[in-house]
């Protein structure tokens, strides 16, 4: 059986009856190419989180808008963009419970920030607040164009892809500031911005990326989904043994 991979969705105007969930199909295609069965996840009430995770072998926290700063103990900056508190609440709980279950996880852009906040970390509300000069992290170029370099630090990701540097795309104005418990930094851009996080425990698959691998080829792109699916297959097999 194929590993079922949940992918969180964005939402427009969550308080209205005609609110719409949406997700770029690039995420879905990447999961299918990696050999998984994608399942789109809406905002979930707390009492359905465990039931949802019961049927998953892995989960992807997708990109999107800003995270409301009250979830990481800050007041809103004048640079803060639009937030969807319902999405924040649902995904932060999903990330916390998925982590506790050791469910294989892939956090992408906003998704990286969500996982970090769920584990007690925080973020820069805008890169203008970072001391010193920073690169252009919200590129004015096609999604598939790798616009800047990231430098890999010791970790499972770098060991698997056998590289020290990667070219990646970039579409964000927020980034990880203080790292959550159980996570380590495994990539930075040349200006010091954190570009990748992983689980500190080598036997737990949690890969979080500030770039968008669904638009890229090679190790920085489809390779990231391949890593998630490999871990998901092992997780699903272990769950099946327990249930027998």
Contact between residue 95 and residue 118 where contact means Cβ atoms under 8 Å apart: yes
- Concerning whether 214 is annotated as a catalytic residue, the answer is yes
Contact between residue 210 and residue 196 where contact means Cβ atoms under 8 Å apart: yes
* pLDDT tens sequence across 63-103: 999 999 999 999 999 999 999 999 999 999 999 999 999 99
State the pLDDT at residue 243. 41
User: What's the CA gap between 122 and 150, in Å, rounded?
Assistant: 21
Domains of the chain are: 4-243 (3.40.50.880)
- Concerning whether 212 is annotated as a catalytic residue, the answer is yes
Q: What is the mean pLDDT of the chain?
A: 94
- Concerning whether 195 is annotated as a catalytic residue, the answer is no
Q: Is the pTM of this model over 0.75?
A: yes
| Active-site choice (84, 195, 198, 214) | 214
Structure-model confidence comparison of residues 5 and 160, the more confident one: 5
| Active-site choice (9, 109, 156, 205) | 109
* pLDDT tens sequence across 187-205: 999 999 999 999 999 999 9
**Section 221-238 average pLDDT:** 91
């Amino acid at each position: 059986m194929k590993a079922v991979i949940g992918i969180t969705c964005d939402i427009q105007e969550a308080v209205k009856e005609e609110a719409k969930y949406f997700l770029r199909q690039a995420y879905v295609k990447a999961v299918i190419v990696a050999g998984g069965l994608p399942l789109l996840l809406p905002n979930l009430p707390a009492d359905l989180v465990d039931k949802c995770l019961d049927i998953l072998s892995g989960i992807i926290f997708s990109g999107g808008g800003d995270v409301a700063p009250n979830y990481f103990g800050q007041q809103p900056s004048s640079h803060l963009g639009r937030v969807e508190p319902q999405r924040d609440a649902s995904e932060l709980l999903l990330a916390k419970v998925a982590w506790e279950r050791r469910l294989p996880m892939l956090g992408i852009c906003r998704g990286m920030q969500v996982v970090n906040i769920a584990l007690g970390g925080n973020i820069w509300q805008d890169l203008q607040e970072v001391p010193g000069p920073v690169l252009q992290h919200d590129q004015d170029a096609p999604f598939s164009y790798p616009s800047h370099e990231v430098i890999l630090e010791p970790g499972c990701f770098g060991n698997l892809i056998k590289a020290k540097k990667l070219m990646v795309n970039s579409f964000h104005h927020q980034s990880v500031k203080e790292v959550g418990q159980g996570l380590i930094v495994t990539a930075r851009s040349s200006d010091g911005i954190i570009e990748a996080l992983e689980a500190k425990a080598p036997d737990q698959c949690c890969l979080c990326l500030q770039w968008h691998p669904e638009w890229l080829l090679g190790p920085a792109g489809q390779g990231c989904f391949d890593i998630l699916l490999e871990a998901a297959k092992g997780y699903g097999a272990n769950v099946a043994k327990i249930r027998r």
